[in-house]
Amino acid sequence: MKTFASDNWAPVCPEVMQALIEANSGHSPAYGDDQYTAKAKQVFKKHFGEASETYFVYNGTAANILALATANHSFNAVICSEHAHINVDECGAPENFSGTKLIDIANNDGKLTVKSVEKHAEALRYPHQVVPNFISISQPTELGTLYSLHELKTLADYAHSHNLYLHIDGARIANAAIALEADFRTMITETGVDILSFGGTKNGMMFGEAVVVLKPELNKYFELYRKQGMQLASKMRYISAQFIALMENNIWKKNALQANSMAMLLAKKLAKYPEIQFTQAVETNGLWLKLNNEMAKKLQAISFFHPWDPDNNEYRIMTAYDTTEDDINKFVAALEVG
């Protein structure tokens, strides 16, 4: 049975699996000097523009930490949401890898605004204070919410006028693109984002994420930091082949659309129950909501999903690329059982 736990509980989508099988032929140069990697990098250029450069790593933590390492000295700081994955779910990896301090901003919807960032955008007491260098946001956020194109551009403009770079943690960036009905160039390159962690695993891959560098100066040391960060894959062709499958043929789109649609369908069905209180807008492929114990128990009996804030009976329900209407129906039907 499928779960609503997380999109990384899902298997590899068939197109990606097929690509892995096909790539498994003959010898191929190690460490990214292979033809698959060359092609995958080109495919990303089509999505993000010729000036972009893309690098492949194993997972999302690495994509984030290495993206932020591109420009951070140990005295620099990253401004982020208190809910940011880098702040709460990466076991201090940013601090340990680069010495970087995180300045986390309180908020209710996972989002930063210029107003919430601005009192932290400059070191007030040089050289006593860390020097902010990055604003890092998640799109969609860790609460499933979205920045509009306008909001992205506003943050990027603000960042650039304050000697800051804008980084996006895009572990589910495909879901955001679908939700905003925007291609990657429009959402990322043209709003002025400087560097992006591009998620593959939650979109149907086996492993592998990409770092898309939009500002040329951020490429300078990436490969050295990737190696030092234990993220240089020897048989890199197997990451690259997956990304080709996903990105060249719009599989990313199909997968994200399915996940988002199913979340919307589920939200619509659950909205009929007045006891259920949505705590965040449902904008991508996750639902945050409060359930009474009885309802929670009935739903968990069908399919596992994670408590979010146990003290407040808040739960997170995630759909995936392989969630079907039938899965939704069976899940919701549990609530009707006496």
Q: Does 276 bind a second copy (CB under 8 A)?
A: no
Q: Which range, of 89-97, 174-182, 257-265, 330-338, touches a second copy by CB under 8 A?
A: 89-97
Which two tokens mark 67?
Answer: 């993206």
Which residues contact residue 295 at a Cβ distance below 8 angstroms, ignoring those fewer than 6 apart?
273, 275, 276, 335
Which of 186, 207, 253, 273 is close enough to bind a second copy by CB under 8 A?
207
Alpha-carbon span 90 to 281, nearest angstrom: 25
89 neighbors 252 (Cβ within 8 angstroms): no
Q: Nearer Cβ to a second copy, position 32 or 140?
A: 32
Q: Residue 288: phi, psi to the nearest 5?
A: -110, 125
318 neighbors 8 (Cβ within 8 angstroms): no
Number of residues located near a second copy, criterion CB under 8 A: 75
What residues between 2 and 31 interact with a second copy by CB under 8 A?
Answer: 2-3, 5-6, 8-12, 17, 20-21, 24-31
Alpha-carbon span 337 to 179, nearest angstrom: 33
Return the beta strands (E) in the chain as ranges: 53-57, 76-81, 101-105, 131-138, 165-170, 195-198, 209-213, 277-278, 286-290, 306-309, 314-318
> Using N-to-C axis directions, what is the helix angle for 237-248 and 14-23, rounded to 10°?
140
Which of 67, 71, 79, 233 is close enough to bind a second copy by CB under 8 A?
233
Which two tokens mark 330?
Answer: 């069976």
Q: Does 238 bind a second copy (CB under 8 A)?
A: yes
Q: Nearer Cβ to a second copy, position 51 or 224?
A: 224
Residue 208 C-beta: closest distance to a second copy, Å? 9
Q: Which residues of 14-29 are buried (b: 16+ CB within 10 A; e: fewer)?
A: ebbbebbeebeeeebe
Contact flags string 163-192 toward a second copy, x per CB under 8 A: ------------------------------
What residues between 90 and 109 interact with a second copy by CB under 8 A?
Answer: 90-93, 95-102, 104, 106
Q: Nearer Cβ to a second copy, position 157 or 223?
A: 223
What residues between 125 and 144 interact with a second copy by CB under 8 A?
Answer: 125-131
- Locus of tokens 């939700």: 179
Q: Nearer Cβ to a second copy, position 184 or 238?
A: 238
266 neighbors 272 (Cβ within 8 angstroms): no
Residue 191 C-beta: closest distance to a second copy, Å? 27
Which of 19, 40, 43, 65 is close enough to bind a second copy by CB under 8 A?
65
Residue 270 C-beta: closest distance to a second copy, Å? 20
Per this entry, what is the length of the chain? 338
Q: Does 216 bind a second copy (CB under 8 A)?
A: no
Residue 113 C-beta: closest distance to a second copy, Å? 18
Which of 36, 44, 60, 173 is close enough to bind a second copy by CB under 8 A?
60
